[in-house]
Amino acid sequence: MRKYSIKRKTKETNISVDLSLDGDGKNLIDTGIGFLDHMLEQLSKHSLFDINVKAKGDLHIDFHHTTEDSALALGEAFSKSLGDRKGIKRFGQALSAMDETLSRVVVDCSNRPYLVWKVKMSKPKLGEMDTELFKEWFQAFSQTAGITLHIENLYGENNHHIIESCFKGLARALREAVVIDPRQIGQIPSTKGKL
């Protein structure tokens, strides 16, 4: 089983994450931010990763630290779960539709973190969450996960649908990328010989 547990404690947040890549989508999410909880549940369900996240943060200030730090911790757990990345397919992509919305998500588990974010929001908030924080979440996750991540909302109007399609797309792309390829078991999927 490819799994990892991590605790991240700062003056701003206290976060624990348990992640299993070879799960079936079970999750227990409690960040104190309702909409973020909903998105992490989607990530777990559609990736088939078992994800538990418990976060306590300085929500009396704003949601920034909890949002970013939860992504940093989850990304690190993802990277550690992959280990040396031998045998994985490495690449994954998904077109993710939700009602009137369509988003494209492409990942490369290259250990070279990078985010391309082509998502525009028409409102400053979803529930109580600032919409600008979603880019921060994906940026932080890609950094510690060691993935190149391209997210593009092709079209859509409803901000909830746009963001949810991005998380579901990430889930499906990661699910594809971490599968062990039976044709290259034990091999690093790179001409460099290392990821």
Determine contact, residues 38/160, Cβ cutoff 8 Å.
no
Kindly report the backbone phi and psi dihedral angles of residue 163, in degrees, each rounded to the nearest multiple of 5, phi listed first: -65, -40
Q: According to the model, what pLDDT value does residue 26 have? A: 98
Task: Give the residue carrying structure tokens 């979603």.
Answer: 134
DSSP 182: T
The amino acid sitting at 27 is: N
Is the pTM of the predicted complex or chain greater than 0.95? yes
Return the number of other C-beta atoms located less than 10 Å from residue 64's C-beta: 16
Q: Are 42 and 168 contacting, i.e. CB atoms less than 8 angstroms apart?
A: yes
- 57-82 pLDDT tens trace: 999 999 999 999 999 999 999 999 99
* C-alpha to C-alpha distance for 59 and 75, rounded to whole angstroms: 21
Task: Identify the structural domains of the chain with CATH numbers, from first to last.
Answer: 3-177 (3.30.230.40)
Average per-residue pLDDT for the chain: 97
The band of 193, judged by pLDDT with boundaries at 50, 70 and 90, is confident
User: Does pLDDT of 123 surpass 90?
Assistant: yes
Report the pLDDT value the prediction gives residue 1, as an integer from 0 to 100.
81
Phi first, then psi, for residue 99 (nearest 5°) are 55, -115
* Residue 32 pLDDT exceeds 90: yes
How far from chain centre, in Å, is Cα 154? 19
Q: Which residues contact 15 (CB under 8 A, 6 or more apart)?
A: 7, 8, 9, 53, 54, 55, 56, 57, 66, 69, 70, 73
